[in-house]
Amino acid sequence: MKKNDASIYTLLLKSKTSKETQEILELVLGTRELDLIEKRYLILKLLSEKKSYVEIMKEVKTSTATIAKVSSSIKKETFKKYFNS
């Protein structure tokens, strides 16, 4: 998908508060999509805190497969940029 000035990223940059960002995301995404994004963010956060898969499974109520998928992001430079691991 081509990114341009009309992208969702540009739209999100226009928000000035977390409430405005939430409103934009709620316009664009469905409830299930938002829940999945929030769940994956929480998994990243817990992984950055060095929590075990078992601890994450219990807290987030997710499978080890989902945790492993999200865990692959830890190797990316962007993860290191936003999460102090």
Q: What is the pLDDT of residue 85?
A: 46
On whether the CB atoms of residues 40 and 79 are closer than 8 A, the answer is: no
Q: How many domains does the chain have?
A: 1
The span from the CA of 48 to the CA of 33, in Å, is 23
Inside any domain, residue 27:
yes
Q: What is the pLDDT of residue 43?
A: 95
pLDDT for 2-26, tens place per residue? 656 678 888 899 999 999 999 999 9
Inside any domain, residue 2:
no
Domain that holds residue 61: 8-82
Inside any domain, residue 1:
no
Inside any domain, residue 50:
yes
On whether the CB atoms of residues 79 and 85 are closer than 8 A, the answer is: yes
Q: What is the pLDDT of residue 57?
A: 96
Inside any domain, residue 3:
no
pLDDT for 34-47, tens place per residue? 999 999 999 999 99
Q: Is the pTM of this model over 0.85?
A: no
